[in-house]
A and B are shown apart, each in its own frame.
Chain A
Amino acid sequence: MTAVDHEPDQTTAAATGDAGVQPRRPWTRPLGYAVLILLSVIYLAPLLWMLSTSFKTSPEATRWPLELLPSQITTAAYELLFRPGTDTPVLRWFLNSMIAATAHAVLVVATAAPAAYALARMDFRGKKLLFGVILSTLFIPPIIFLVPNYLIVDTFGWLDSLWAVIVPQAAGALGVFLLRQFFLGLPDELEEAALIDGANQFQVFWRVVLPLSKPALATLLVLAFLTNWNDFLWPVYVLFNPDSLTLPPGLARLQGAYTVNYPVIMAGGVIASAPVIALFVFAQRYVIEGVARSGLKG
C-alpha cells in the first residue's frame, strides 16, 4: 500500500502542480487527522469483524458479550465450505467468478479499443450518428434490458452458463467512452509518421497506438474485472444450478442455507473479498484514476 502511496496524485494533480489546500489554522491539521482516523475505524472495523468471525465457532460468533477475537482460532467454517459434494461449492463459485470476470474484462477491452480508436481517429460515413446512438444508451436505465436480454440469452442457449455473465454486459458504452477520450488526447505525430512509412491502419493501431495506451487499457481491464466480479442482480436470475453460480449469487444462497451460522457466511464473504482487495491494493492507481476520470469527463 505504501509503495504506491503517492503515485495517484501525480496523475490527477499533474495539471495543478502540488494540489490541495494548505491548512491555514493551527487546529485544522489535528482535526483533519482526527476525522480521517475515526472514519478509518468505521471503515475497517466491519471488515476485520468479518475476518475475525470467519475463524470463530458458530456458538461463539453469536454469544453475547461479543468477543473481538476468536478465543480459539478454528478453520471449521472454511473446511465446511471447501468440502466437496455440498450444495454450496464455494471453490467452484470462486473458479467460475475468476473465469467470468477475466473473460469479460478481456472481451470489453478487445471490443472497445478498436471501436474507440475508430471513433476518435478516423473519419467515416455515419460516425456522428453511431456515436450519438451509443452515447444516448448511457442515459437509458438498464432495468429495461433485464427481461428482453434474458430471452435473448435464452435463445443462444446461454442460461445457466457463464456465457450469460461474460458477454451481454460487454455491450456497455463506458469502455468505448473511456478509451475514446484517451485516444483523442494522444499526439498525432507518431501515427502520421508510421502511416507515411507505409504501415496500414491495423499495424498503426497494434504497434503504435495500443502500446502507448497501456495505462488506459489497464484501467479499463481492472474496472471491467471488478464490475463483473461484483455483478449481482443478473447472475442471481440467469444462473440456477449450484455448480453454475458465480460468487455473488452463491453468497446469497449461502445466506439462505446457513441462516445464522455466521462464521460460514462470513468465510464466504472473506473468500469473495480476498481477490478484489488484492487487486485493489496492487492496481489502486488504475481503479481510483478510472473512477476519478469518469467524473471529470462526465
Chain B
Amino acid sequence: MTTTAPEATNGGSTAAGAVPTGRGTQGAWWTPYVFMAPYLALFVIFVAIPAVYGFWISLHQWEYFGAPIFLGVENYVRLFAEGSQRGAAFWQSMRATGIFVVLSVPLLLVLPLLVALVLNLRLRGRTFFRAVYFTPYVLGVAVVGLLWRFLGDPNIGAINYLLGRIGFASNYPWTTALPWGWILLTVLTVWWTLGFNTVIYLAGLQEIPREQYEAASVDGANAWNRFWHVTLPGLRRVLVFVVTVTVLASANMFGQAFLVTQGAPGNRTRTAVMLIAEEGLGSFRLGSAAAMSYILALFLMGGSLLLWGFFRRWEDEA
C-alpha cells in the first residue's frame, strides 16, 4: 500500500552493496567480532544458555536446596494428569490468563484506534493530549497497581464513591469478587496502556498518503468507506504489530493481579505468569515451574503463529 515503507524497512541494498568491502577499509577480519563481543557475551549468558538450561530444569525435580533429580517428562505429564493438584492450579491460571486476554485485547485494539483517529484530525494541542494519555504507561505497573487498588477499594475507594453519587450502589467488591475483579483489572490495564497503542496507531495513520483519502473522496466514498478501504488497509503492518504485542502483553499479565486482587477470589484471578513465579521463585519447585513456563510459551507461540497466518491471508486477499 504505502510505497515508501518497503524500502525504509528492508535496508538490504545498503547492507549488501554500499559498504566498502575492499580489504583495506574493512579492517582486520576480527574487527566485526570485537564489535559484537560485549553484546554477544550478555546474549549467550542470559538468553541462549537459559533457553536450553530452562528445558533441562523442567526435566528434573529440583527444590533449589539439594541436587536436581532426573524425572524425564514427569513434570509435564503431571500437569495433564487427572486429579493432579498442580495440574488443576496450572489450568486454572491458564483459564484466568485466557479470560483476561479475551476481556482486554478487543478494548486495547479498538479504543486506542478511535483515540488515534481523533488525534489525527488536525486539532490544536494534540501533542499535549497524546502526552497525557501516554503518561500512565511511563509510570509502570507498580504505581498504577497501587493507585487502582486505592481507587477500587470496596469500602473507601473513589470508584464506589462516584458510582454512589450518580445513583448506583456504592459497595461493589472490585478487589475481592468476580466479575468485579476482572472488570477492575481490565479497566486499569486499558487506562495504563491505551497511550502506547495510540502512539503506534497514530504513527501508522500519518504514514498513509493523503492523496488516497482525496482519491476516495473524489470517488464519492463516505467517511465509513474511507475508513474501511483506505485507513484499515493502510494500517495493516501496524495492526500486525499492535495485535501481537497486545495479545502477548495481556497473556503475560502479572503486576496488576499481583497488586490489586492478589489472585482473589480463591486464585481465580491468578494468571499463569503469577502462578509460575510463585511456583518457581516463591515455593522453589523449579522443575515444575520451568515445565509450566514451557507449556505457556508453546501456547503463546502457537497463538502468535495463528495471528500471523490470519494477517498473511488478509494481505493476500488485498
Q: How far is it, in angstroms, between the C-alpha of A181 and the C-alpha of B5 when the chains are bound? A: 13
Does the CB pair B280–A147 fall under 8 Å?
yes
Given A1-B128, A277-B135, A295-B242, A12 and B32 touching (CB < 8 A)?
no
Q: Is there an interface contact between A36 and B129, defined as CB atoms closer than 8 Å?
A: yes
Q: Which of B1-25 contact A (CB under 8 A)?
A: 4-5, 8-9, 11, 14-15, 18-21, 25
Verify A232–B142 contact, CB threshold 8 A: yes
**Residue ID in chain A nearest B49 by CB atoms:** A152
- Known contacts: A42-B191, A66-B161, A141-B301. The answer to whether A150 contacts B281 by CB under 8 A is yes
**B286 contacts A by Cβ under 8 Å:** yes
B31 located at the interface, meaning its Cβ lies under 8 Å from any Cβ of chain A in the complex? yes
A200 within 8 A of B: yes
Question: In the complex, are the beta carbons of B47 and A230 less than 8 A apart?
Answer: no
- How large, as a class, is the contact surface on chain B? 35 or more
Interface pick from A44-52, A73-81, A84-92, A211-219: A44-52
Residue interface bits B147-171, CB-to-A below 8 A is 1, else 0: 1111101011010010000000000
**In chain B, what residue has the closest Cβ to A254?**
B146
Q: Which of A7, A12, A265, A279 has the most CB of B within 10 A?
A: A12
Q: Which residue on chain B has the smallest CB distance to residue A189?
A: B18
Q: Is the beta-carbon distance between A149 and B46 smaller than 8 angstroms? A: yes
Chain A residues with Cβ below 8 Å from B8 are 185
**Which residues of chain B (70-90) have a CB below 8 Å from chain A?**
none
A247 touches B294 (CB 8 A): no
- Judging by beta carbons under 8 Å apart, are B115 and A21 in contact? no
B33 near A124 (CB under 8 angstroms)?
Answer: yes
Q: What A residues does B208 contact at CB under 8 A?
A: 16
The residues of B that contact A252 with a CB separation of less than 8 Å are: 142, 145, 258-259
Contact (Cβ within 8 A) A9 B47: no
Q: Is B312 an interface residue (CB 8 A)?
A: no
B297 touches A144 (CB 8 A): yes
Assuming the contacts A143-B297, A171-B45, asked whether A40 and B129 have C-beta atoms less than 8 A apart, the reply is yes
Contact partner, A122, options B19, B126, B273, Cβ 8 Å: B19
B240 to chain A: which residues have CB within 8 Å? 298
In the complex the two chains form, is B139's CB within 8 Å of A20's CB?
Answer: no
Is A114 in contact with B36, judged by CB distance below 8 angstroms?
yes
A115 in contact with B38 given A145-B51, A252-B258, A287-B138 (CB within 8 Å): yes
Q: Is A184 located at the chain interface by the 8 A CB criterion?
A: yes
Is A288's beta carbon under 8 Å from chain B?
yes
Whether B139 lies near A276 (C-beta < 8 A) is yes
Given the complex of chains A and B, what is the CA–CA distance between A130 and B40 in angstroms? 9
A296 touching B25 in the complex, CB below 8 Å, given contacts A49-B158, A122-B35, A143-B252: no
Interchain CB contact (< 8 A) of B206 among A13, A115, A168: A13
Give the distance to chain A from B59, nearest Cβ to Cβ, in Å. 13
Within 8 Å CB of A244, what residues of B? none
* Chain B contacts with A in 260-293, Cβ cutoff 8 A: 272-273, 276-277, 280-282, 286, 289-290, 293
Can you list 25 residue pairs at the A/B interface with Cβ under 8 Å? A19-B120, A24-B223, A39-B133, A50-B150, A115-B40, A122-B19, A143-B273, A144-B290, A145-B47, A146-B277, A146-B281, A148-B290, A152-B50, A168-B42, A171-B46, A188-B14, A200-B27, A230-B141, A233-B255, A236-B277, A248-B140, A266-B147, A277-B138, A292-B199, A298-B244
Q: Beyond A152-B49, A262-B156: 20 further Cβ-contacts under 8 Å?
A: A13-B206, A32-B118, A36-B125, A40-B132, A43-B191, A124-B33, A142-B252, A146-B293, A167-B46, A171-B43, A230-B141, A232-B140, A272-B143, A273-B139, A276-B140, A280-B135, A280-B138, A295-B200, A295-B238, A296-B200
| Among all A-B residue pairs, the 3 with the closest Cβ atoms | A230-B140, A295-B200, A298-B241
